[in-house]
Every structure is written in structure tokens, then in C-alpha cells.
Amino acid sequence: MTKYAANALYAKCHALFGKRLTGTDYSLLLACKSVGDVAAYLKGKTVYADALADIHTPTVRRQQLELHLRSHQFHEFAALCRYEVSLGQGFYRYYVLRGEVAQLLNCLRLLDSEHQDDYLLSIPVYFQRYASLDLFKLAKAADSAEVLEATQGSEYYAILRPFLEKNPTLPDMSAIELALNSFLWKKVHGILKSSGKGKGTQSDGVRYLEVGADMKAIAIAYRMKRYLRSNANQIRAKVNFSVGKLSQKQTDNLLDAPTADELLRRLTATPYGKAFARQDFLYIEDSAARVAYSHALHTFRYSMDAGVTTLAYLDLAENELQNLTHIIEGIRFFAPPDEIRKQLIGNLDVRA
């Protein structure tokens, strides 16, 4: 990576970060009375304006709005991918894999939707050059069987086949998302380790991704302990701890805990003990997401490496999208603004 190219990518990420939603934006969004009001605000006052240019805000549906917001994120991702390819680093493979996983999930969620054609229009043409999937064939899929057919020849086929063949009309999207994300973490961990042989930028990227992988694994292990009374072997069959930073001894200690509460207590003996001690464990996914967000924000602020900064930016952008999803869902079901705000992650009062 040349110094000029690295500086260009670093500057691009910080420019995008500077356009994210502010505390004022969140307050005004929480004051909206309908999904259409949210769409109108985002269309008229924020960086999402271009992505929402063609929608009719008074009649927009939740699914359509969320699709267009994801389209905006995907275009940002594709632009960064184009930057990164020009730098000749292995990091661009992470961007491509992440984009492919996002598009598979988008496609499956939109099956039988009246707005399915929007998915096809949302795909940046130049991203297809880097993808292992035929995204345009995927976009034309009308049912689960055609989605599966579109993934033939790729590593995604074997991942999706058990879910889509078992229940083609109503696939388990939570299980599919978990399986795809597990594949993503393991694949990228290997790419970064092999491309840098454990040195420099690649090892920094590995360390960054390990925290996110651990947060997902800990959250799932906790839920399996609390709600399914799962033992260590049952959790190991579902959760991949091998791509995180926890040692084998630390992982075994957590999974051997007889109860979910004991698992939390044993977290104090891990590198994440202090971070989790500040969290409310009513919803473990929320607690883990807050730890991951703090790590991403700290990395973004202080890393001087363009590739690692970009990894952190992508997670911060995903967090903003999740915040918007919570707002849209909350307003749709008439939840009080204060209750919706509790689900949002990040510094919502000032520009962090």
C-alpha cells in the first residue's frame, strides 16, 4: 500500500463518518409519528437522501424503507471496496464477502415482496466484478429454490441448502444469518492471517475482528445457557469460538459454567470483564453489541492504519443502520420514544 493510497482511504472513511446521524437527528427521528415521517426526515435532512430519492414517503412501507437504507450502506461499501482493490491488500476480500452475505440476506428477506425489484436496482454494477456470486441472477430469484440455484458453485450453497430445503416457504432467517456470519468470521480470519503472516496491518485487522467474533459467540452461548439449558458440548456444536481472542482455557471456563449467571460471573476473568461489568444483561445481544460498538469507535478514532480504520467504520455504519431499524420498528408499533431510545447504541447526545 502506498502512503498516498492509504491516506486516500483513511480520509474517505473519516469523511463518511462525519456525515453520520447526529444526536439532534436521532431526537427528531424519535419524535416522528409514522414510518412515512421517518422516511421524509431521512430523505430531506440526511446523507440517506440520494438512496431515498425515488420513494413516495407518505405511502412507504417499513420493508421498502429498510431496503433503501441498506442500499445506501451497500453503495458505501462498494465504493470502499473499489478503493481497497486499488491498494492491492487482502482486506478487500473482507469487503466482498461482507457484501455478498448482506445481499444474500437482503434477497431472502424480500422473497414474495412487492418491492423485490428494488433489490435488483440497488446493486452497484461495478461490485459484480468482485463478487463470487451472480448478484443479478440472485436478484431475479422468485423463491428459495431459485436463491439456492443462484448460489451453486459458491461456498454459500452448502451453507444455505439445509435451511432452504427444510423449510422453503418460511426459512429460519435467524439461523441463516448466524450460519452466514459464522462463515464470514472464519473465512476472513484466515484471509487476514495468511495474507500478512501475522505481521503489521493484517495482524491488527485480525485483532480487531476477533473482538466482534467474541461478542457474537458470547451472546449466543449465554442465550443457550439461559433459555435452552445447553451444556458445553451443545454450545460448541453451534458456536465457533476459534476465531476470537479468548484462549482455549478461557472459552472452556465459560462454557463449563453450570448456569447463564455463572457464565456472566466468569466473564470477569476474561479480557472483556470490565466492559461487560458496565452492561445491563437483560438482553445479552444488546450488551455485547454495546461492547463491540465501543471497541469499533475507539479503533476508528485512534488507529492510524487505513485498512483497520475501514473495518471499524463498516461496523459503525452497520450500528447506525440497526439504530434506524429499531426506530422504524418502534414507531410502527407505537412504542414510546423513551423506550425506543433505550435500544439505540452510541453517543446519541453529541457527535461522538
pLDDT at 91 over 50: yes
Question: CA-to-CA distance for 142 and 119, rounded, in angstroms?
Answer: 12
Task: Dump pLDDT digits (tens) for 237-253.
Answer: 878 787 788 999 999 99
pTM comes to 0.84
Number of domain units in the chain: 1
Specify if 241 maps to a domain.
yes
With respect to residue 289, please indicate whether it lies within any of the assigned structural domains.
yes
We report the CATH number of the domain holding residue 269 as: 1.20.1690
Chain segment 282-341, per-residue pLDDT in tens: 677 788 999 999 999 999 999 998 888 988 999 999 999 999 999 999 999 999 999 999
Do the domain assignments include residue 221? Answer: yes
pLDDT digits (tens, 9 = 90+) for 124-155: 666 777 788 888 888 888 899 999 999 999 99
Computed from CA positions of residues 64, 348, 308, 269, in that sequence, does the dihedral angle turn out positive or negative?
Answer: negative
Longest dimension (CA), the chain: 55
Residue 293 lies in a domain: yes
In a domain, 161, yes or no: no
Q: Which amino acid is at 173?
A: M
Band (19; pLDDT cuts 50, 70, 90): very high
Q: Tell me, what DSSP letter sits at residue 143?
A: S
The reported pLDDT for the residue numbered 317 is 94
> Which among 326, 257, 253 is positioned nearest to 289, based on CA atoms?
326
Question: What single string gives the DSSP state of each residue in 56-92?
Answer: -GGG--HHHHHHHHHHHHHHHHHHHHHHHHHHT-THH
Q: Residue 33 is which amino acid?
A: K
Does residue 225 belong to any structural domain of this protein? yes
Whether the CB-CB separation of 326 and 15 falls below 8 Å is answered with: no
- The domain containing residue 285 runs over which residues? 197-302
Average pLDDT of 70-89?
Answer: 74
**With the CA atoms of 292, 296, 298 and 299 taken in that order, what torsion angle do they form, in degrees rounded to the nearest 10?**
130
Mean pLDDT for all residues in the chain: 85
Q: 61 lies in a domain?
A: no
Query: 209-232, pLDDT tens digit by residue?
Result: 889 889 989 998 998 999 899 999
Whether 227 is covered by a domain: the verdict is yes
